[in-house]
C-alpha cells in the first residue's frame, strides 16, 4: 500500500505521540522507530521505552542531549543577546533544530524512509522540525499526522486509544495546559490562557516562586565568562548544562524569569503564552553586562542591530540555514575579548548588575573620571567634534528647512 517502510518518530510517550505510533502503523503499514530526547525537561524519559515497546516498537532511541543542547545551541544564541519581539528568550525554538538533527541522524542510521513529529498544523514547531530536516536531508519524507488525520480533539484521541487498546496513563492532577519544557524554559499555552485578558493562575507556575513570596534577603552570584560563554559560577567551573540548571534553581528561588506575552507565530496568527526562563533571564543580563566593558562601541551597536533578525531566524526555524551560519560567524568573532566576571544581585524577580571586571576591559577610569584626569582627555576637543556633527543641521536650518 505504501512506499514508506520505516519511520523515525519524535516520541515523548504522551497521548499524542502514542496515538501517532499506532496511526503510522495502521495508515502506512510501516515499522516505527522512536526517538526520545532528554533536554532537561525535568521528567523521566526512560519510561518512554516501556511505552514504545508496548506499542510494538523494536528500535527505540533515548538520548541525553542536555550538554549538547546548552553548549551548541543555547550558548551560541545567548552570545547574540537574542530576544524575539523584545521579550521571548526562544526556549522552545532553540530546541527544535537539535531534535531535527537527531531525527535525521537516526533515519540515516536505521535506513528509515521518513521522519514524523507530533506538532500541530497551527503552530511553529511543524515549520522548525521540517525546515531543519529538509536542510539536513533534502529528500527526506516528512509525515505530519496532525495535517492528515481527523483526530483533532482529546476526546477523539482517547477514543482511538480505546478502540485499539493503546495504554494511556491518566495522571491525577496533571496540568491542563499545553506545555513544553527543556533546560532553558517551560512554556504554557491553552485553557484560560487563550483569553489574553485573563491572568495566569498562580498554581500554574512550576519553576519559580512568585516575586511576592521570594526571600526578603537578596542572593548574590558571580558569573565568569570566556569568549562570551559562562564557564563558572561563584568560581566553580561547571559544564554548560550544569550552569543553566544551577541558574534555573537560584533564579526560580528568587522569583525570576516569569513572562506572559502575546507573540506573532510564523504561520500568521497571534498566540498568548506564558514562560518560565529563570536561568536564561540571568544569562541575558550577565552577558550584556560583561559586553558593556569589553566590546567596542560600534561592534556592540552592530550586534544589537542584527539581533532582531537573528532572533527571527531562530524563531522561524532557520537554524540550519546559511544566513544563521553567517550571522553566527560574525557574532562569535565579536566574543573574542568577552572575558571576565559579572556580579549580580537576585531579589524578588529582579536581576541587578552590581559589578563587572575584566582584564580585557575597555573602560578606562583615568579617562572616564569626574576628578582630575591629568591630561588623559582634552575637553577642548569636544568643541570641534560637536560643530562638525552639527554642520548638516546648521546648513538645513539656515535654508529654512523645518523638521
Residues with a known catalytic role? 16, 96, 125, 178
Evaluate whether 96 touches 129 at the Cβ level (below 8 Å): yes
From the CB of residue 378, how many other CB atoms can be counted at a distance below 10 Å?
Answer: 8
β-strand 258-264 against 270-276: which pairing, if any? antiparallel
> What are the CA-CA distances from residue 356 to residues 231, 288, 343, 361 (Å)?
15, 11, 6, 9
List the Cα angle 331/333/335 in 5-degree steps.
80
Query: Strands 340-347, 219-226: parallel, antiparallel or unpaired by DSSP?
Result: antiparallel
List of residues 6+ apart from 125 with CB closer than 8 A: 92, 96, 117, 119
Query: How far is 17 from 14, CA to CA, in rounded Å?
Result: 6
Q: Calculate ∠ Cα 93-99-100, nearest 5°.
A: 95
257: left (phi over 0), alpha (psi -120 to 50) or beta: left
In the numeric block, which cell numbers belong to residue 378? 582634552
Amino acid at each position: 500500500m505504501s512506499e514508506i517502510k520505516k519511520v523515525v518518530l519524535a516520541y515523548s510517550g504522551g497521548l499524542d505521540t502514542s496515538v501517532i505510533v499506532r496511526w503510522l502503523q495502521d495508515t502506512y503499514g510501516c515499522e516505527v522507530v522512536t526517538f526520545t530526547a532528554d533536554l532537561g525537561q525535568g521528567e523521566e524519559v526512560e519510561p518512554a521505552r516501556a511505552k514504545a515497546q508496548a506499542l510494538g516498537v523494536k528500535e527505540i532511541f533515548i538520548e541525553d542531549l542536555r550538554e549538547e543542547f546548552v553548549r551548541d545551541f543555547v550558548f551560541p544564541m545567548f552570545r547574540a543577546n537574542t530576544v524575539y519581539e523584545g521579550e521571548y528568550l526562544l526556549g522552545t525554538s532553540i530546541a527544535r533544530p537539535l531534535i531535527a538533527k537527531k531525527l535525521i541522524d537516526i533515519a540515516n542510521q536505521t535506513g528509515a524512509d521518513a521522519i514524523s513529529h507530533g506538532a500541530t498544523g497551527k503552530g511553529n514547531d511543524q515549520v522548525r522540525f521540517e525546515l531543519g530536516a529538509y536542510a539536513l536531508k533534502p529528500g527526506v519524507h516528512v509525515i505530519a499526522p496532525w495535517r492528515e488525520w481527523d483526530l483533532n480533539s482529546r476526546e477523539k484521541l482517547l477514543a482511538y486509544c480505546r478502540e485499539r487498546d493503546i495504554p494511556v496513563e491518566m495522571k491525577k492532577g496533571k496540568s491542563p495546559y499545553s506545555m513544553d519544557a527543556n533546560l532553558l524554559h517551560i512554556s504554557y499555552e491553552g485553557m484560560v490562557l487563550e483569553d489574553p485578558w485573563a491572568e495566569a493562575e498562580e498554581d500554574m507556575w512550576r519553576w519559580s516562586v512568585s516575586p511576592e513570596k521570594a526571600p526578603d534577603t537578596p542572593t548574590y552570584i558571580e558569573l565568569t565568562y570566556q569568549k562570551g560563554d559562562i564557564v563558572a559560577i561563584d568560581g566553580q567551573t561547571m559544564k554548560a548544562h550544569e550552569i543553566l540548571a544551577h541558574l534555573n534553581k537560584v533564579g526560580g528561588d528568587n522569583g525570576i524569569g516569569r513572562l506572559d506575552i502575546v507573540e506573532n507565530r510564523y504561520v500568521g496568527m497571534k498566540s498568548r503564552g506564558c514562560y518560565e526562563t529563570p536561568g536564561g533571564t540571568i544569562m541575558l543580563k550577565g552577558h550584556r553586562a560583561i559586553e558593556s566593558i569589553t566590546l567596542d562601541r560600534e561592534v556592540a551597536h552592530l550586534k544589537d542591530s542584527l539581533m532582531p533578525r537573528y532572533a527571527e531566524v531562530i524563531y522561524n526555524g532557520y537554524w540550519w540555514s546559511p544566513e544563521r551560519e553567517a550571522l553566527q560567524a560574525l557574532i562569535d568573532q565579536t566574543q573574542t575579548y568577552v572575558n571576565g566576571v559579572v556580579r549580580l544581585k537576585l531579589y524578588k524577580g529582579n536581576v541587578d548588575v552590581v559589578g563587572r571586571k575584566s582584564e580585557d576591559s575597555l573602560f578606562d577610569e583615568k579617562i572616564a573620571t569626574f576628578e582630575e584626569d591629568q591630561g588623559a582627555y582634552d575637553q577642548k576637543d569636544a568643541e570641534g567634534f560637536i560643530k562638525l556633527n552639527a554642520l548638516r543641521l546648521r546648513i538645513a536650518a539656515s535654508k529654512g528647512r523645518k523638521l
